[in-house]
Amino acid sequence: MAEVSKTPANVAINAMQAIPFSSMIGGPLNACIEAQAMAARTSWEFIKEVGLNTDEKGQKSAVMVAFSFNRGGRMVQLNVPLLTIVPIPYIAINTIDINFKASISASSSTASETTEHTEAGGELGAKAELNLGLFSMEANLKANYSSKKDSKATAESKYSVESTIDVAVKAGQEGMPAGMAKVLELLGSALDVVDAKGELQVNATILNVGDNLVIAYKNKEGLFDNSVLKVKKGDTDVVISDADKKKDSVVLNLNAEKFKAGDVLEITAGENTVKVNVVKKETEDTKSQE
C-alpha cells in the first residue's frame, strides 16, 4: 500500500509559523499610538497659534477678544479670552478592533497501481509414435505462452496559505484634560465688562483734609493702568511716584502740609475726568456750634 507524503503538511505548518503575527497586530497598534500623539501635538499647536500671544521675551499671554455693545444707554466693552469661545480640537482614539484570520490548507495523495497479466500456452513441434502390435498411436504436441505486466504509479500534493487582517479604528472628540479645563475656568472668571472709554474710579468726590484719596483706572481692555493718571491742584501737578503707578490703585494723603480746604483736585486718565473737593474736617466744636 502506498504511503501518503507528509511533506505538504510540514510545509503548511512552517508557513503558519512564519506568519509575522507581531508585526501584523502590533503594526496597527503602533500606528494608532503615533496618530494619537500627532493629535495631541495638533491640539497644542492650535492653542499656541490661536489662543496665545508670545512677546519678545518668549512670555505667553491669552488672546483677548473685545466686543462693544450698548448697556443701559452707554457703550461698554466685553473682554473675553478667545480660548473660552472657540472649540479646542481634542481628537482621541476610543476603540481599536483588529480582526486577523489565517487559513492554511494542505493535501497529499499517492496512488500506485500494478497490473500483471500472464498467458501460458505454447506450440511444441514434437511428434511421437507408438506401436503396440495391432495398434499404433501418433501424437503431436504444440504449446504457446506469453507474459504481460503493466504498472502505474501517481503522486499528488498541494497546499495553500491565506491570511487576512481587518483593522477598524474609531475616534471622536475626547473630553477636555483636567488641567486645560481648570485653565479655561480661570480664563472664564476673567470675563470683564468695562466702559469703552475706560473707567476712572475714586473713593469719594468730597474729602476732608487729612483723608486718603484712592484712585484706580481701568483701560478699555479691563487692565489697571495707572501710568496714565494725572492729578492737578489748580495749575500745579501733583506728583505720583512710579512705584504707585504700578499698583492697582494710587493712594494720596491729603495732608495739611500740601492741601487745604477749598482745594479742587482734577484727576484725568484717558478720556475720563473726575474732580475731588477738599473740605475742612469738621470737629466736635464745629458741630456743636451748628
In percent, the amount of the chain with pLDDT more than 90 equals 14
Domain tally, the chain: 3
Q: Are residues 57 and 139 in the same domain?
A: no
Residues 49 and 182 in one domain: yes
Q: How confident is the model at residue 124 (pLDDT cuts 50, 70, 90)?
A: very low
pLDDT at 8: 58
Domain boundary among 129, 152, 175: 152
User: Are 44 and 128 part of one and the same domain?
Assistant: no
Evaluate whether residue 261 is within a structural domain. Answer: yes
| CA distance linking residue 75 with residue 69, whole number of Å | 6
Rounded to an integer, the average pLDDT of 145-174 is 62
| pLDDT at residue 110, rounded to an integer | 52
Higher local confidence (pLDDT), 88 or 150: 88
Phi and psi, residue 70, nearest 5°: -90, 125
Give yes or no for a contact between 62 and 81, defined as CB atoms under 8 angstroms apart: yes
Assess whether 127 and 176 both reside in one domain. no
| Stretch 224-241: mean pLDDT | 89
Same domain flag for 123 and 249: no
Question: What is the average per-residue pLDDT within 253-266?
Answer: 90
Out of 1-5, 96-100, 193-197, 274-278, which region has the weakest mean confidence (pLDDT)? 1-5
> How many angstroms separate the CA atoms of 162 and 102, rounded?
6
Task: Identify the pLDDT of residue 105.
Answer: 60
pLDDT at 108 over 60: no
Query: Is 157 exposed, middle or buried (CB count within 10 Å of its CB: 0-12, 13-18, 19+)?
Result: middle
How distant, in Å, are the alpha carbons of 72, 267, 270 from that of 219?
20, 15, 8
Burial grade of 231 (CB within 10 A; 0-12, 13-18, 19 or more): buried
Q: Would residue 2 count as lying in a domain?
A: no
Q: Which residue carries 478720556 as its cell? A: 271
Q: 87 lies in which domain range?
A: 7-104+162-188
42 and 98 together in one domain:
yes
The answer to whether residues 182 and 79 belong to one domain is yes
